[in-house]
């Protein structure tokens, strides 16, 4: 069973989370005038919505992780 990892929604969510973390570590959010607390709240809200709708990981799909 071969699977293209670049099409995995879980992989892309992990990459996006890592980019947001790196931007935070380098002070990007302060440079554009956004507080880190606000970013954390938005990220948590989006992840909860995606999880609730089953977008992040669908265990019944044979093509997902």
Helices assigned H by DSSP within the chain: 9-25, 28-31, 36-52
Q: Where are the domains of the chain?
A: 5-52
65: CB partners within 8 A, 6+ apart: 8, 10, 57
The pLDDT assigned to 54 comes to 63
Other Cβ atoms within 10 Å of 64 Cβ, number = 15
Tell me: the pLDDT tens digits for 6-58? 887 778 878 888 888 888 889 898 899 888 788 888 888 887 887 776 665 66
pLDDT of 65 over the 60 cut = no
- The CA-based angle 3-6-11, given to 5 degrees, is 100
């Amino acid at each position: 069973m071969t699977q293209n990892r670049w099409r995995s929604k879980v992989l892309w969510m992990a990459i996006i989370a890592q980019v947001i973390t790196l931007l935070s570590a380098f002070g990007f959010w302060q440079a554009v005038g956004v507080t880190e607390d606000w970013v954390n709240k938005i990220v948590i809200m989006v992840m909860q919505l995606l999880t609730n709708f089953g977008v992040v990981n669908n265990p019944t799909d044979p093509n997902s992780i």
